[in-house]
Structure 1
Amino acid sequence: MATKLQSADPLAAIDMAVDRAAAALTAAQRPDGHWVFELEADCTIPAEYVLLRHYLGEPVDELLEAKIGRYLRRIQSPTHDGWGLFHAGGFDVSASVKAYYALKMIGDDPQAPHMVRARTAVLAAGGAAAVNVFTRIQLALFDAGPWSTVPTMPPELILLPRWFPIHLSKMSYWARTVVVPLLVLGALKPVARNTKGIKVDELYTGEAVRAATKAADPKWLWTKGFNALDRLLKAGDGLWPTKLRRRAIQACEAWVVERLNGEDGLGAIYPAMANSVMMFDLLGYAEDHPVRAIARQSVENLLVIKEDEAYCQPCVSPVWDTALAAHAMLEAGGEANIASADAALDWLKPRQVLDVEGDWAEERPGVRPGGWAFQYNNAHYPDLDDTAVVVMAMDRAGTADRMPIDRGVEWTVGLQSKNGGWGAFDADNAYDYLNNLPFADHGALLDPPTADVSARCVSMLAQLGEGADSPRMAAAIDYLRREQEPEGSWFGRWGVNYIYGTWSVLCALNAAGFDQGDPMVARAAAWLRTIQNPDGGWGEDCDSYDLDRTGHVPAPSTASQTAWALLGLMAAGEVDSPAVARGIAWLADNQDADGLWGQEYYTGGGFPRVFYLRYHGYPKYFPLWAMARYRNLKRSNTKRVTVGM
């Protein structure tokens, strides 16, 4: 039964809703103090997992494959017959080809109705020849597509000096970890051990499959140059000196081994993990070799296996979930909730990376480590977003030992980019020309500063007492001012989308002392009010990431996006506005019987237009946080948010 607000004391009803949500969130906390919730992407990760097992020639796990098959069939679209990149999303040819291939590998009859519908949709979209680069690689690994259509990335790339225009250190962390083992696979061009010999010839239209190149834009000489370079590399394939090629492959191998990251895997993300396993297999590592075995186990650790279905996660999010849930519990208050938050912070403390200079040190040598990663372990790749959120939670809880806070701040300020903002993992990772590489057709090769991550860093510094007039804060706020969209919102790189970005920046501006009289704040708050749904909630579709940046795309109200909008408006000083009251009512009316909120819509960003995430934790802790804050502010004299988030 949903909690209603039609009682004599509306705040008493909210108290009940907050208590139920906090109790349910506490019940989900692990015995050691941390939270971790499922992190679901689209069909591509479970499909690639099935294909990986067959590529390696492993014994078929019929029970597991049957569960993954049921999952893939369930999320097939009933409207366009293929698979999209998010819940209720439009048709995506690359995702659909991978899902179809995985189902066929599992044993689905190509003449089964769901396979016929999928195949018809794929062929209507240009067939398997129309897929993106990473899907072309997947097909080539099974000899189901030609390697000639894959852009050439020679392993000798790893030997180039850092000043060279194309260099691994100039790419984002996720691109580095995915690309390095791929350099070996692309050079040696292996074919899967899959004994079934299953291919997908029926997904080709008969049109000639052309090599993948970036569409030439006369304004971008880089695009034409990189396309020409790719043709040159293809023409010279096989002419590399043997010793140089061997040295390059050994360098790639050593690079991966150094960053293997135990059972958490290379980069702690599925594509890099899977590529590392295939690389080790190709280089002759036995199945029981410690390096290959631990890389293989890292992939298994991503599985979510339920009674009827199973899928593979792209990564796990325990640090992020734990830090955000701790904030929600601190907001809820009360002895038991604060104890839960303290246990979470105790779990987080030893996960701070204090002794590993990760890849970020290439750009910022001399900065001491001090960040937190997103996953259980990912020491080479801590991220600034997690670090800022953890530091703010520790400060908010009054953590006695200030060392983790001080080191987190030191590392964060050391990675501020020249334009005043912060990226997620590196400083000044903004070599835009690299997105013109034929290999980068996903447009996500870089990790430039973004408004949402920058806002979190500003929030952290402001919460710790740094004034808005300090040089680094002034530069950061000026960056945020430049990033504001004409209608008043901010782009959300890591969450969907303008609602997420606007919430993030409004919290930062409030912490830095900007009130609702500031034009930036007033425009943003007005924008949030104008996009509120008629039912009182807020929603935004992933299609808002379209290249034309036209802005917010309306969608049904979701618990997480409603909470973000409410937290943003309250940070802007609008706790008493009718829009906030209606949003709180929507959350109360949509609270489930278990005390939490459900949400199938994807509100997490992986790579805009390419990869989206459904954080199963978002509708659990963000609505609690928003309702508790509303109650707290309504009962306070100041009506002002006093923390950074």
Structure 2
Amino acid sequence: MATLSTMTDPLAAVDAAVDRAASALSGAQRADGHWVFELEADCTIPAEYVLLRHYLGEPVAEELEAKIGRYLRRTQSAEHHGWGLFHKGAFDVSATVKAYYALKMIGDDPAAPHMVRAREAVHKAGGAEAVNVFTRIQLALFDAGPWSVVPTMPPELILLPRWFPIHLSKMSYWARTVVVPLLVLCAKKPVARNAKGIKVDELYTRRPIDRKTQAADPKWVWTKSFNALDKVLKVAEGRWPRTLHQRAIDTCAAWVTERLNGEDGLGAIYPAMANSVMMYDVLGYPEDHPARAIARQSVENLLVIHDDEAYCQPCVSPVWDTALAAHAMLEAGGADNVARAEAALDWLKPRQVLDVEGDWAEERPGVRPGGWAFQYNNAHYPDLDDTAVVVMAMDRAQVADRMPIDRGVEWTVGLQSRNGGWGAFDADNDYDYLNNLPFADHGALLDPPTADVSARCVSMLAQLGERLDSPRMAAAIAYLRKEQEPEGSWFGRWGVNYIYGTWSVLCALNAAGLPADDPAVARAVGWLKAIQNPDGGWGEDCDSYALDRKGHVPAPSTASQTAWALLGLMAAGEADSEAVERGVDWLVANQEADGLWGQEYYTGGGFPRVFYLRYHGYPKYFPLWAVARYRNLKRSNTRQVAFGM
């Protein structure tokens, strides 16, 4: 196969790749200007959706359940016979128990070979006793497991003052929205109305189990203290003053209703949305009550139904997809592509949150709203990552109305944390001790500053002219330097993983004006080159999020991770390097017939070690962005990237 360096016109293949990809991406744009692609998690969300329907006692949707059943059976591993958290991922006992339960609820015979294999795998892993807290709650709701093994979180928690060590405002947005309706469910301890009374007793081994936490750095003092507190709360359960207890439940319900978010749902994420429906149900709200009805509809809106299969998404990603696709189209250039990007920005403009002080305002009162959310609507929970990416696209397109840009920057600056970095949704959400709560065995209760989100904010500020020596920029750069791993990479919280983080930070350091010979830049470039796969692409497994944080775990090359590595290297002045040429060769050679790229591997990070995401849009716009940038740099008189991303 000819490579770029051996062709008569080395950019001819790249030109063709850009044109085909831009045309295909144009074809995926919605009539109103936005893009949205499927967002797929593991089997737990579709399994929980099936269980939710049966919990509520809704009429059996045979065709839909048959399609979900086919999806679940297809994603069962042929190696370990259970379900993992990502494509070709290791066995996960919680995911497997939920998938098995959903299939049994759908009607699969426990004696069927695939069910027997899954059951044996669960037994080998310690049985249903070994599942995580949220799965234990799911089982308890069906009387398929005891409430006694669920850590106690009384609804009175919502009444505690903000200075109290355990407070909702100290948790991440996703934890808050999931926990508040769950406080009511755990207090009421309802049992599903499923008339079939299906249990999964056969998954239990009745053997003692040593449950593990996914917290990255558990502290024994806090762990022992919180475990002792849990025992006290269990003794006190049912003994709270009745008036206080009812006030707490009423406050939880009011909190949820205030943030219900229409048909986009509480927090616009499935677990919170499903919990809100069950909360309204246990509180006696009839099916046609406006709050319950709209909460229930929000769940239906997450379904993806194909001809043969169906699944439920954890949320949707239209703002993120649209902003990133707009960047790719701007990079591709040409009147039509730029016009499509401008249409996307027109769609994004009215989705800026300008009049709602979300939960973030508890930590930053006085800061004016100005961010964008990830989903169609989520006004209480805009995020810094989306906001920075949208602002950079608007600035790059030279939009006439600068108000959205100015308000986005103002809000972003207002949420910078004390250490110089930015979290995704809140400032200074770094109360590490809370990850030692028995309830937080997923280790993802918090939203502390991360290198990838911070890098996006630095890129935005630098693109808009922020001086490197300004106090806030100096603090942010110092934070990024501090976060660099010994081998030269950066940890990527929201994308897999070190490749994602390193791309993000290299773009930020370039935008801020750091030279290629800066030690941080040079080390990162050396690391990216060192991990390039023999085929010229880049790949990284989700197991790089392991508790020991030993670093990058090699994996087959993927289109999105190859694109990230290329964008990072080109930001560091490496457009003429052999590594970049080989990476572009890989993308050109692996472009599919439809002009885009395929990718089954998960390269999105939801919660490290617990929850991963397959963004179906990532292999569509990131490779276009990378090959278009390569072409643009090779055809220019300079190798300097002009924008922050």
CA contact (8 A) 2:214 2:609 kept: no
* 1:122 matched residue in structure 2: 122
C-alpha change, 1:81 and 1:218, in structure 2 (3 Å) is closer
C-alpha change, 1:217 and 1:596, in structure 2 (3 Å) is closer
1:64 aligns with 2:38: no
Aligned counterparts, 1:218-233, within 5 A? 220-233=220-233
Cα deviations across residues 330-378 of structure 1 (Å, max 9, x unaligned)?
Answer: 0000000000000000000000000000000000000000000000000
What SS does the aligned partner of 2:553 have? coil
C-alpha change, 1:65 and 1:218, in structure 2 (3 Å) is closer
Aligned counterparts, 1:86-485, within 5 A? 86-207=86-207, 220-485=220-485
Q: Which amino acid aligns with 1:555?
A: A
- Per the TM alignment, residue 79 of structure 1 is displaced from its structure 2 partner at its CA by 0.2
What SS does the aligned partner of 1:10 have? coil
- Per the TM alignment, residue 207 of structure 1 is displaced from its structure 2 partner at its CA by 1.9
C-alpha change, 1:216 and 1:9, in structure 2 (3 Å) is closer
* 2:528 matched residue in structure 1: 528
- Per the TM alignment, residue 44 of structure 1 is displaced from its structure 2 partner at its CA by 0.1
Aligned mates of 2:638, 2:265 — CA distance in 1: 48
Aligned mates of 2:218, 2:57 — CA distance in 1: 46
- Per the TM alignment, residue 212 of structure 1 is displaced from its structure 2 partner at its CA by 9.0
CA contact (8 A) 1:149 1:211 kept: no
* 1:596 matched residue in structure 2: 596
Aligned mates of 1:515, 1:28 — CA distance in 2: 38
CA contact (8 A) 1:542 1:603 kept: yes
- Scaled by the length of structure 1, the TM-score of the pair is 0.98
Q: Which amino acid aligns with 2:122?
A: V
Aligned mates of 1:594, 1:38 — CA distance in 2: 17
- Per the TM alignment, residue 215 of structure 1 is displaced from its structure 2 partner at its CA by 10
Cα deviations across residues 487-542 of structure 1 (Å, max 9, x unaligned)?
Answer: 00000000000000000000000000012110000000000000000000000000
What SS does the aligned partner of 1:614 have? strand
Aligned mates of 1:175, 1:547 — CA distance in 2: 20
CA contact (8 A) 1:2 1:592 kept: no
CA contact (8 A) 2:39 2:314 kept: yes
Identity percentage of aligned residues: 85
Aligned mates of 1:61, 1:133 — CA distance in 2: 29
Q: Which amino acid aligns with 1:422?
A: W
Q: Identify which range, 159-168 or 231-240, moves more after superposition.
A: 231-240
CA contact (8 A) 2:353 2:382 kept: yes
Cα deviations across residues 286-324 of structure 1 (Å, max 9, x unaligned)?
Answer: 101111000000000000000000000000000000000
CA contact (8 A) 1:538 1:565 kept: yes
Q: Which amino acid aligns with 1:564?
A: W
Aligned mates of 1:348, 1:500 — CA distance in 2: 25
- Per the TM alignment, residue 589 of structure 1 is displaced from its structure 2 partner at its CA by 0.3
Aligned mates of 1:145, 1:56 — CA distance in 2: 18
Aligned mates of 2:259, 2:220 — CA distance in 1: 35
CA contact (8 A) 2:602 2:612 kept: yes
Q: Which amino acid aligns with 1:514?
A: L
- Per the TM alignment, residue 213 of structure 1 is displaced from its structure 2 partner at its CA by 8.5
Q: Which amino acid aligns with 1:182?
A: L
Q: Which amino acid aligns with 1:278?
A: M
- Scaled by the length of structure 2, the TM-score of the pair is 0.98
- Per the TM alignment, residue 220 of structure 1 is displaced from its structure 2 partner at its CA by 3.3
Q: Which amino acid aligns with 1:569?
A: L
Aligned mates of 1:167, 1:588 — CA distance in 2: 51
Cα deviations across residues 186-218 of structure 1 (Å, max 9, x unaligned)?
Answer: 001000000000000000002257999899999
- Per the TM alignment, residue 12 of structure 1 is displaced from its structure 2 partner at its CA by 1.7
* 1:518 matched residue in structure 2: 518
Aligned mates of 2:14, 2:551 — CA distance in 1: 33
What SS does the aligned partner of 1:222 have? helix
- Per the TM alignment, residue 7 of structure 1 is displaced from its structure 2 partner at its CA by 3.6
Aligned mates of 1:530, 1:486 — CA distance in 2: 14
Q: Which amino acid aligns with 1:504?
A: S
Cα deviations across residues 111-165 of structure 1 (Å, max 9, x unaligned)?
Answer: 0000000000000000100000000000000000000000000000000000000
C-alpha change, 1:79 and 1:237, in structure 2 (3 Å) is same
Q: Which amino acid aligns with 2:265?
A: G
Aligned mates of 2:215, 2:224 — CA distance in 1: 9
- Per the TM alignment, residue 638 of structure 1 is displaced from its structure 2 partner at its CA by 1.2
CA contact (8 A) 2:86 2:601 kept: yes
Aligned mates of 1:97, 1:479 — CA distance in 2: 41
CA contact (8 A) 1:172 1:446 kept: yes
CA contact (8 A) 1:270 1:313 kept: yes
What SS does the aligned partner of 2:644 have? coil
* 1:551 matched residue in structure 2: 551
Q: Identify which range, 465-474 or 211-220, moves more after superposition.
A: 211-220
CA contact (8 A) 1:93 1:125 kept: yes
Which runs of 5 or more residues in structure 2 are unaligned? none
Aligned mates of 1:219, 1:416 — CA distance in 2: 27
Aligned counterparts, 1:627-638, within 5 A? 627-638=627-638
What SS does the aligned partner of 2:641 have? coil
What SS does the aligned partner of 1:613 have? strand
C-alpha change, 1:523 and 1:509, in structure 2 (3 Å) is same
CA contact (8 A) 1:82 1:122 kept: yes
CA contact (8 A) 1:37 1:617 kept: yes
Aligned counterparts, 1:600-615, within 5 A? 600-615=600-615
- Per the TM alignment, residue 549 of structure 1 is displaced from its structure 2 partner at its CA by 0.7
Cα deviations across residues 372-415 of structure 1 (Å, max 9, x unaligned)?
Answer: 00000000000000000000000000001000000000000000
1:563 aligns with 2:546: no
